[in-house]
Amino acid sequence: MGLALAEARRALVTEDVPIGAVVIGPDGGVLGSGRNQREELGDPTAHAEVVAIREAAARLRELSLAGGGSGDGWRLADCTLVVTLEPCAMCAGAIVLARIPRVVFGAWDEKAGAAGSVFDVLRERRLNHWVEVYGGVREAECGGLLRDFFVGHRTGI
């Protein structure tokens, strides 16, 4: 979670909402990392989770093509996604489609969360893939970063 929080803090530089994510591979190494970049890139899909998933898939594909890995790159089996905020519906869909088996997140998102708060896409039994979910990890720290950001934006700081 420390690495995801560091990514979240990097988002502050571009005035993006401070959310960070990392994809951890089966060996414990970081395969991909991301931060919210919607403002920076003008891309509504540039959520931290999507950026990290794209980077991890590209890395796995590179390893596979170089003979150092197996698979097609887009299936992130045996990986873990760590993110500072509960994934939204779009990101939850990407997690399911990438076949990520585990998600660890910090703060709950009572307005748009799709890992148990508003929706539970990650554990929806009608889908073809289910995800283990571990929420509330370093919740106070993750939530505090978001609260401080929004207080600053509302007051013009």
Supply the mean pLDDT for the chain.
Answer: 94
Catalytic residue (choose from 49, 55, 62, 139): 49
47 is in an annotated binding site: yes
Task: Extract the tokens encoding 49.
Answer: 């989770």
pLDDT of amino acid 78? 93
pTM summary value:
0.94
pLDDT at 68 over 80: no
pLDDT at 26 over 60: yes
The DSSP result for 82-150, as a single string, is EEEE---HHHHHHHHHTT--EEEEEE--TTT-TBTTS-BGGG-TTSS---EEE--TTHHHHHHHHHHHH
Mean pLDDT of 13-22: 97
pLDDT of amino acid 64? 83
Break the chain into its structural domains and give their ranges: 1-151
The CATH classification number of 1-151 equals 3.40.140.10
Beta bridge partners of 115: 120
Task: Extract the tokens encoding 84.
Answer: 């500072």
79 is in an annotated binding site: no
pLDDT of amino acid 156? 60
pLDDT at 73 over 90: no
**At 81, is the secondary structure helix, strand, or coil?**
strand
* Contact by Cβ (8 Å): 4, 84: yes
Annotated active-site residue 49? The verdict is: yes
